[in-house]
Amino acid sequence: MTRVLVPLLAQPPARPIGGAVLALGGRSMGATWSVKLVAPPTASAEALTAMVQRELDTVVAQMSPWEPGSDLSRYNAAAAGTWTALPAAFAQVLACAIDVAERTGGAFDPTLGALVSLWGFGPRPFSGGPPAPAAIAGARATAGWRRLVLDGDRLLQPGGLHLDLNGIAKGFAVDQVAAALDRAGARSYLVEVGGELRGLGAKPDGQPWWVELERPPSADHAPAPRTLVALHGLAVATSGDYRRFFEHDGRRYAHTLDPATAAPVADGAISVTVLDESCMRADAYATALTVMAPDAALAFATDHGLAALILTPGPDGLEERLSPALAAMLDP
């Protein structure tokens, strides 16, 4: 079974006149990236590839916890009571992260860097199993999004606070690439970075950029429908417990941490997909809804007009929860 989601548009995207579809690609942020765009015959694939790579490299240089010289690492190592000047893009991402943290009651928290590393999902070497309770308590004591004090482009280090923006930075990178393509004159493209996507316009044959929403591996053996979406003026981000995890004593520990427990989310959704005009917001909200209990996640998405697809395990396979905003996009 396949169903189709179509954005609610006043008019369909204009069909490009002339041009060919260029396919670009590379690696960044520990993943691959790809761009497809309608470009005139004179366009240089090499120049466009370099432009995209520069945008992604800038995000890494500012927000990667794996880069010792990044602005994020510099802040994490700063002394208590000092202020760090942030690049404009970094400040923009952090302001959005704080906003989502506030709206979700802390389900999204960009200050879990020490805990993320402690659980083996950050730059420090993995111990092979869950950390000791005392270590968790120590890392938890330094976290908390309410400790963040952002004054314009300056960020206060209250002491021991470690940022982790992996739940939002990849989506922001997608938006940055799309903005660079806009500045370059592209009016029809599909951007993908590590599974997060954003599209605009139509292909030369008049078809939109169709993409299939990510499904967990277990969906291949369960009666869950395939979902295609026409990405015009939309971005899509997915958070899933199958993306990064480790197993210990018969239990699986996924990379998404619950700020309330300082541990990987337990008994939550297998996968959450969010569609939004901004991939940055979609990325952050997908993470937050994964942390919430599935029913609470659906209620939040309904109350806030988020287009969300929530997949949970059920007795007969995967169970779906579609928010009203997503259901309204279903093509009859």
CB 321 within 8 A of CB 312: yes
Q: State whether residue 275 is helix, strand or coil.
A: strand
CB 28 within 8 A of CB 60: yes
pLDDT in tens, 245-299: 667 666 776 788 999 998 898 877 889 999 999 999 999 999 999 999 999 999 9
pLDDT at 222 (0 to 100): 55
Q: Work out the end-to-end distance of the chain between its first and last CA atoms, rounded to an integer number of angstroms.
A: 14
Residue partners of 19: CB distance under 8 A and separation at least 6: 38, 39, 40, 41, 204
CB 288 within 8 A of CB 168: no
Enter the pTM of the model: 0.94
**pLDDT band for position 304 (50/70/90)?**
very high
Lowest mean pLDDT among 2-16, 28-42, 155-169, 179-193: 2-16
Report which of residues 218 and 177 the model is more confident about. 177
CATH topology of domain 2-40+188-327: T-fold (3.10.520)
What mean pLDDT is predicted for residues 312-319? 81
- Pairing between strand 31-39 and 20-28? antiparallel
**pLDDT band for position 10 (50/70/90)?**
low
Answer yes or no: is pLDDT of 15 > 90: no
What mean pLDDT is predicted for residues 64-78? 96
Enumerate the domain spans of the chain: 2-40+188-327
What mean pLDDT is predicted for residues 5-29? 83
